[in-house]
Amino acid sequence: MTQRSLELTAETGITFDAAVISEEALGWARAYSGELVKGITDTTRKLVSESVSTFIETPGMTRGDLERLLEPAFGPNKASQIAVTEVTRAYSQATNKHQEMLKREYDLEMRRVWQTRRDDLVCPICGPLNGMPEDDWPANLKGGPPAHVNCRCGDSLTSDDAETLRAEAITSQTAREKLLREKVAGEKPGVALTETPLPSELWQPDTADARAYADWQISEVARRHRTTPEKVQARIAERLREDLNGPVTIRRGLRGSQGIISDSRFKSQFETGTSRGLFDKGMRKTAEYHGLGAPLGLPDGERVIYGYFATGNDAVSSYGQVEWQLKDTVKQRTTYTIGDSLGAMRDREQVGSRDPEEIGAWDGEDLDRYYSKGVGRADDGIGYLEAQIQGGVNLGDVERVRFHLIRGPTAFEDIADELTKLGIPWDVTWEP
């Protein structure tokens, strides 16, 4: 028995044994492991279940051994992701089941506590959760770890009250944040918002995992279309070269556009605290760290500004009525991804790139649709390529502005007047 098991036994009078959790993890792995892994077949899902089960029930078996069982089907990088994530999930679900059993059979109320590895690899999503009682976990993580692909966290059971646990966790996190601030303070200062860094100064993400994931997805697209991976890759790269020739564009609403003129620059999501999609600071920091190489401690005012490259489909109107087209010089510090980057970058399945042949920037979920446009499928491709702009965007970077308006009273005239004074061309497209 572990030290914590002994403590719980002393507190409650009920015997706790870590072996019971392992047995329950084994049962969960046999029944469910692999069900949440994206883009796999029933055969490969069965392989995941059997491999994770073997790992749990075999004393002395290492994570490397588990990865080797998975590699023939998934490749080394994806195998590593699955090994970490599914083992984390199995033990977390076992803890949940054990908690339910204690309530059912002993009427014992136990509380789950989030546990990270407390090392330099802990991400911004999980770091603030360390030591926190389940009462304080986000709604989307009420089931416990994993919080994301490659999550190494766990959870434990305690009879302590939530207030005590919360106070201890906050004290611990405050000390950790102090260390992080001291580390960030010693790093090279970020580039000023008005400057355009040379391409050599762009952040450099680790592309290995993203390339491995894309390579697998390219093969899947080729299989579905009865062609070769080489032809799929060539077709997508050709389309990208065409679409990336267009301007980098940002959409904002009328109110947001007034703010841009007042501030003489575009603010990041971290500054405005808003997004037309999902806004989660921890998730976005993790995504930019893994997918772009952005430092975790980067100030809010120096974070990425998101825009898009048009692909011929109107899928950006929900982001606002005002289309800000930027000068071509901005492309020197702009990366792209096929489709929305948030989830894929967070899970290390995608990176931003300026190279149309960098497969790491190709998101598997949108890859088929992007390839399919113009090759006999009814699917009309995807709505845009996401653009990630580093170094900030100010009014001096704007080439022209287009208003997309419905006829009737609007507040666009004031914005248009300011644009005219600034010498920025603009026009209006009246929507039906």
Is there a domain that residue 192 lies in? no
pLDDT digit string, tens, across residues 389-429:
998 999 999 999 999 887 655 667 888 888 888 888 998 88
Residues whose CB is less than 8 angstroms from the CB of residue 262 and which lie 6 or more positions away in sequence, other chains included: none
Q: Let me know how many helices (H) and strands (E) the chain has, helices first.
A: 14, 9
Q: How far apart are CA 323 and CA 405, in angstroms?
A: 11
CA 201 to chain centre: 23
What is the per-residue burial (b if ≥16 Cβ within 10 Å, else e) of 10-33?
eeeeeebeeeebeebbbbbbeebb
- pTM comes to 0.57
Is residue 191, in this structure, part of any structural domain at all? no
Q: What is the pLDDT of residue 381?
A: 57
Is the pLDDT confidence value at 45 over 70? yes
User: What are the strands, taking DSSP E only, across 302-416?
Assistant: 305-310, 322-326, 334-338, 384-389, 398-406
Measured CA to CA, the distance from residue 69 to residue 83 in angstroms comes to 10
* 269-278, 284-293, 362-371: segment of lowest average pLDDT: 269-278
Residue labelled with tokens 């059997």: 50
Return the sign of the alpha-carbon dihedral for residues 58, 63, 65, 70: positive
What is the torsion angle, in degrees rounded to the nearest 10, for the CA atoms of residue 23, residue 29, residue 30 and residue 34? 180
CA distance 149 to 398: 38
Of the three residues 155, 185, 215, the one that is the final residue of a domain is: 185
Q: DSSP strand E in 253-380: where?
A: 305-310, 322-326, 334-338
44 phi, psi to nearest 5 deg:
-70, -30
Instruction: Look at residue 311 and give its three-state secondary structure.
Output: coil
Model confidence band, residue 244 (pLDDT cutoffs 50, 70, 90): very high
Query: Is the confidence at residue 378, as pLDDT, over 60?
Result: no
Token couple for 333: 């510090």
164's tokens: 């005590």
> Tens digits of per-residue pLDDT, 161-195?
778 777 777 666 565 555 544 443 444 343 333 43
Are 170 and 285 within one domain?
A: no
Q: Are residues 48 and 175 in the same domain?
A: yes
CB 398 within 8 A of CB 324: yes
Whether residue 302 sits in one domain with residue 353: yes
Residues 135 and 276 in one domain: no
- Identify residue 318 by its one-letter amino acid code: S
Out of 277-281, 306-310, 391-395, least confident range:
277-281
Cα-based angle 82, 87, 88 (whole degrees, multiple of 5): 105
pLDDT score for 189: 40
Q: What is the pLDDT of residue 190?
A: 38
Tell me whether residue 193 is in a domain: no
Q: Are residues 40 and 176 in the same domain?
A: yes
Higher model confidence: residue 369 or residue 266? 266
Structural domain containing residue 322: 199-431
Based on the fold, state whether residues 116 and 218 are members of the same structural domain: no
Q: Is the pLDDT of residue 293 over 70?
A: yes
Tell me the backbone φ, ψ of residue 267, rounded to 5 degrees. Answer: -95, 150
Residues 53 and 80 in one domain: yes
Pairing of strands 426-431, 398-406: parallel
What is residue 29's predicted lDDT score, i.e. its pLDDT? 62
At CA 239, angle to CA 237 and CA 242, rounded to 5? 110
Residue type, 52: V
Contact partners, residue 59, CB within 8 Å, separation at least 6: none
Task: Indicate whether 9 pLDDT > 80.
Answer: no
- Which residues fall within 8 angstroms of residue 389, CB to CB, at 6 or more apart? 248, 304, 305, 306, 307, 326, 330, 333, 334
- From start to end of 209-361, where are the E strands? 249-252, 305-310, 322-326, 334-338
What distances in angstroms separate CA 252 from CA 194, 257, 267, 323, 396, one per listed residue?
20, 6, 11, 7, 17
Instruction: Supply φ then ψ for residue 60, to 5 degrees.
Output: 85, -10
- CA separation, residue 344 to residues 123, 264, 304, 338, 350 (Å): 15, 32, 16, 10, 5
Measured distance CA(338)–CA(368) in Å, rounded: 11
Question: d(Cα 310, Cα 270) in Å, to the nearest integer?
Answer: 25
291 and 211 in one domain?
Answer: yes
Q: Tell which residue, 140, 121, 46, 49, has the closest CA to residue 86.
A: 49
- Residue type (1 letter), 57: E
Higher pLDDT among residues 44 and 336, named by residue:
336
pLDDT of residue 158: 82
Q: Is residue 171 part of a domain?
A: yes
Same domain, residue pair 246 and 175: no
Residues 286, 226 share a domain: yes
Count the Cβ atoms, other than its own, within 10 Å of residue 305.
23
Provide the domain count of the chain.
2
Convert the pLDDT of each residue in 325-339 to its tens digit.
Answer: 999 999 999 999 998
pLDDT: which is higher, 117 or 261: 261
Dihedral pair phi/psi, residue 377, rounded to 5° = -100, 150
Residues in the chain: 432
Does any domain span residue 136?
yes
Do 166 and 229 lie in one domain? The reply is no
- What does the pLDDT read at residue 233? 92
Task: Let me know whether 132 and 226 are in one domain.
Answer: no
